[in-house]
Structure 1
Amino acid sequence: MSEAFDSESRQMAGRQLSVQHWSTKHVAKWLKEEGFCDYVDLLCNRHRLDGTSLLTLTEYDLRSPPLELKVLGDIKRLMLSLRKLQKQYSDVLEELGIAFDGHASQNADWLSNGDPARDCDGAADGLPADQYHQYANGKHKQHSRRLDPEYWKTVVSSVYVIFVFGFTSFVMVIVHERVPDMRTYPPLPDIFLDSVPRIPWAFAMAEACGVILCNIWLLVLLLHKHRSILLRRMCSLMGTVFMLRCVTMFVTSLSVPGQHLQCSGKVYGDIWAKLQRAMTIWSGFGMTLTGVQTCGDYMFSGHTVVLTMLNFFVTEYTPRTWNFIHTLSWVLNLFGIFFILAAHEHYSIDVFIAFYITTRLFLYYHTLANTRAYQQSRRARIWFPMFSFFECNVNGPVPNEYCWPFSRPAVLKRLIG
């Protein structure tokens, strides 16, 4: 009886100090009191767990590197003790921006489109398993997750994409000077172009599809609560794909895909004349609707890149119940690609490569961002430093939440209040 009383007294004395102020010694004492002496060296000595890190520990952390606990019973018992501690200090967790709902808190593996894995069935749309609560009637309560907009990073990404578009325009001027002579190098054999007659108005329709998709995306971006993060991702991805396009269309010059284009190598004179022509292309967004005509920039199709990127961003950052918007987005994307080919403005390989590179880069970027795999992969940090820079403070998928972007005037607020 006296031993039990002494044990309880020691526990109460240890908990007089709030958990966020615990040192590794306090954590070691807590582990011993809970019967986990075998893990004191691993958690406290090797990995220096203090009170705050102990409070935020999850079952995923225990199972995954660098801890990798092997005994399932110990993992479950340790999590039961941790949940009691988390319940006792739920206010501290709230201050840290973590909601405690009294259930098992596990990090889920996330697919690139924000869908939870099967073992997290029932999670709210776009939120990890530790950020929703399921009631008995099947409804879900979402816990808001703080996402820092980091506007300065969005500005950096905007400067990056503007620079890339300017550089792309200049490269387009260079490749126009190097376009192969149509009399010496006729159009290459192409299954689609050889099979489908040219439709003169098709390229204008392709650009019209792009304009409609762009307006839909701008509306989604304007109303999305996390618009700064979305714009940052859009700029970084678009800039990277067009930088790759600069390389491919510069290193190899393909012959003109159709006799109707009447392209020939055109020398623009000195560097200032080239820059002036590049500025014309840049200000007109490289579109024939704005009067811009270019030659030689075939591998790969910039129009396909824009159509596909806009489609993927619209479908990724709108709720899954918006079936009409998703269907319309895909129809515009696919019809736009068809019209590009029907106009004989690009080879089939240009369109295929553009679609493949754009979709793979989008999915790879979002897979890394949603699963936070870059935090555990040194290789990802080395090969994708820009990604690590932009996404280092975004933890998990961005939820599709919407709000009115404009605040009410102060006078109106006073009248309503």
Structure 2
Amino acid sequence: MRGSRSVGVAGWSSKHVAGWLRDQGFREYVDLLCSTHRLDGVSLLCLTESDLRAPPLEIKVLGDIKRLMLAVRRLQRQYHSVTQTSGSELVPAPATFSERPLSYYDGSEERGSGDPQHCNGTVTTVTEEQIYSNGKKKQFSGRLDPEYWKTALSALYAVLVCGVTSFVMVLVHERVPDMRTYPPLPDIFLDSVPRIPWAFAMAEACAVVLGSILMLVLLMHKHRSILFRRLCSLTGTVFLLRCVTMFVTSLSVPGHHLQCSGKVYGDMWDKTRRALEIWSGLGMTLTGVKTCGDYMFSGHTVVLTMLNFFVTEYTPRNWNFIHTMSWVLNLFGIFFILAAHEHYSIDVFIAFYISTRLFLYYHTLANTRACQHSRRARVWFPLYSFFESSVTGPVPNEYCWPFPKPSVMKRFLG
């Protein structure tokens, strides 16, 4: 199409086509089609199967030829239907492909908004919209596949990280500084607030309540598999980072009430048995677990903050009572940790900061798909690139009854 304005795909540059090819799973042909032969939007719409087979392209893999042509034909049908029905020109594609999520250009098959959405483990259709220059909207749809095998891998990852964390906690207990030589460090909060003996149990009680709320949200959420996968991957990653920070530097105990002494375990079997006790008790004093030396940074604060953010993120915005209660439990739990003098203030601050930043960073990438196929995201956040490869945008907060209805109820309800 001539002129400065173009109709949708016709306005794509080679860079847009390269992004579309990556999104469709044809990354190996980006250099051939876009760099060598400078394929743009107009030439993509004119592409035929014979072009792929004949020189100068000569793609040798028959399956790739067929799949690529199916994707091109969907794009061609979408283009022709828009030009025939819109009655006006579309806003041209942005100057750089990263300025708009790939889901706007993915050429997926169009489906009506009335498609049925199943709940228990089936693929769910999610509708997206593209706005034209005349104010009209055209709907596209992506699919949210629960991918239970990825969820199982994320759960295994979280369990393994918990085991590694428990063993590192045993090692740092062995290296805890002698209280007679290294007294507690100066701390503005701990020096100003007297210790409350029962406060740490209250902090763990806040975590238990928050965890119960999140379990109910996960149980009733239609996309519970994706949510649980994100919870495991994020929490596991933060605790893996915690293993590094508490191992490289051993802080002195934050209070004289802590009776800690190093070199309390013997051989490797004793260390492993102690690590299993910590792992089975989830590192909580409510289950009888008592540890020393694992100060930088606070694991209890990480758990409280992650639970709070997942509850507030995956519940409707008008659930004000739940959101307020979640934040109150989070903040009171942090206060109780400090009031019990179980951690330094810097331990809690760093834990809160790292947990919130990682949560927001992960969800910003997942909701916009801005860097899903970038090399930087794969290097610095490989779990995100793997677990979110099939998620096409924000996960809607939709709820349903998770269990199959009894046959008697089905007959009663018709």
TM-score, normalised by the number of residues in structure 2: 0.72
1:93 to 87, 104, 110: 110
1:354 to 351, 354, 364: 351
Q: Does 1:345 align with 2:342?
A: yes
Q: 1:249 to 1:127 in 2, by over 3 A?
A: farther
Q: Is the 8 A contact 2:168 2:247 kept in 1?
A: yes
The code of the aligned residue for 2:72 comes to D
- Aligned partner of 2:188 in structure 1 is 191
Q: What SS class does the counterpart of residue 258 from structure 1 fall into?
A: coil
Q: What SS class does the counterpart of residue 245 from structure 1 fall into?
A: helix
- Aligned partner of 1:50 in structure 2 is 72
| Identical counterparts, % of pairs | 72
Q: 1:223 to 1:358 in 2, by over 3 A?
A: same
- Aligned partner of 1:139 in structure 2 is none
Q: What SS class does the counterpart of residue 143 from structure 2 fall into?
A: coil
Q: Does 1:399 align with 2:396?
A: yes
1:159-198 map, 5 Å: 159-198=156-195
Measured against aligned partners, the alpha-carbon deviations of 1:369-394 in whole angstroms (never above 9, x if no partner) come to 00001235221122222111100000
Output the aligned Cα RMSD. 3.3
Q: Does 1:265 align with 2:262?
A: yes
Matched residues in 2 for 1:67 and 1:61: separation?
14
Matched residues in 1 for 2:366 and 2:208: separation?
28
1:176-325 map, 5 Å: 176-325=173-322
Q: Is the 8 A contact 1:127 1:399 kept in 2?
A: no
Q: Offset at 1:413?
A: 3.3
Q: 1:378 to 1:181 in 2, by over 3 A?
A: same
- Aligned partner of 2:96 in structure 1 is 65
The code of the aligned residue for 1:51 comes to R
Q: What SS class does the counterpart of residue 232 from structure 2 fall into?
A: helix
Q: Is the 8 A contact 1:44 1:50 kept in 2?
A: no
Matched residues in 1 for 2:375 and 2:78: separation?
24
1:335 to 321, 329, 332: 332
Matched residues in 2 for 1:203 and 1:416: separation?
49
- Aligned partner of 1:157 in structure 2 is 154
Q: What SS class does the counterpart of residue 354 from structure 1 fall into?
A: helix
Q: Is the 8 A contact 2:150 2:229 kept in 1?
A: yes
Farther off after superposition, 406-415 or 250-259: 406-415
- Aligned partner of 2:42 in structure 1 is 40
5+ residue gaps, structure 2: 1-39, 48-56, 58-67, 83-89, 115-125, 132-138
Measured against aligned partners, the alpha-carbon deviations of 1:196-252 in whole angstroms (never above 9, x if no partner) come to 111111111111111110000001110000000000000000000000000000000
Matched residues in 2 for 1:336 and 1:61: separation?
51
Q: 1:238 to 1:56 in 2, by over 3 A?
A: farther
Q: Is the 8 A contact 2:221 2:397 kept in 1?
A: yes
Farther off after superposition, 338-347 or 404-413: 404-413
Q: What SS class does the counterpart of residue 293 from structure 1 fall into?
A: coil
Q: 1:60 to 1:147 in 2, by over 3 A?
A: farther
The code of the aligned residue for 1:63 comes to P
1:124-143 map, 5 Å: 128-130=128-130
TM-score, normalised by the number of residues in structure 1: 0.71
Measured against aligned partners, the alpha-carbon deviations of 1:12-48 in whole angstroms (never above 9, x if no partner) come to xxxxxxxxxxxxxxxxxxxxxxxxxx96347656999
Q: What SS class does the counterpart of residue 200 from structure 2 fall into?
A: helix
Q: Is the 8 A contact 2:98 2:370 kept in 1?
A: no
Matched residues in 2 for 1:364 and 1:341: separation?
27
Matched residues in 1 for 2:160 and 2:91: separation?
41
Matched residues in 2 for 1:324 and 1:67: separation?
38
Q: 1:408 to 1:175 in 2, by over 3 A?
A: same
Matched residues in 2 for 1:44 and 1:194: separation?
74
Measured against aligned partners, the alpha-carbon deviations of 1:104-125 in whole angstroms (never above 9, x if no partner) come to xxxxxxxxxxxxxxxxxxxxxx
Matched residues in 2 for 1:156 and 1:411: separation?
37
The code of the aligned residue for 1:170 comes to F
Q: What SS class does the counterpart of residue 110 from structure 2 fall into?
A: helix
Q: What SS class does the counterpart of residue 237 from structure 2 fall into?
A: helix
Q: Is the 8 A contact 2:217 2:315 kept in 1?
A: yes
Q: Is the 8 A contact 1:341 1:348 kept in 2?
A: yes
Q: Is the 8 A contact 2:176 2:261 kept in 1?
A: yes
- Aligned partner of 1:137 in structure 2 is none
Q: 1:65 to 1:294 in 2, by over 3 A?
A: same
Larger Rg: 1
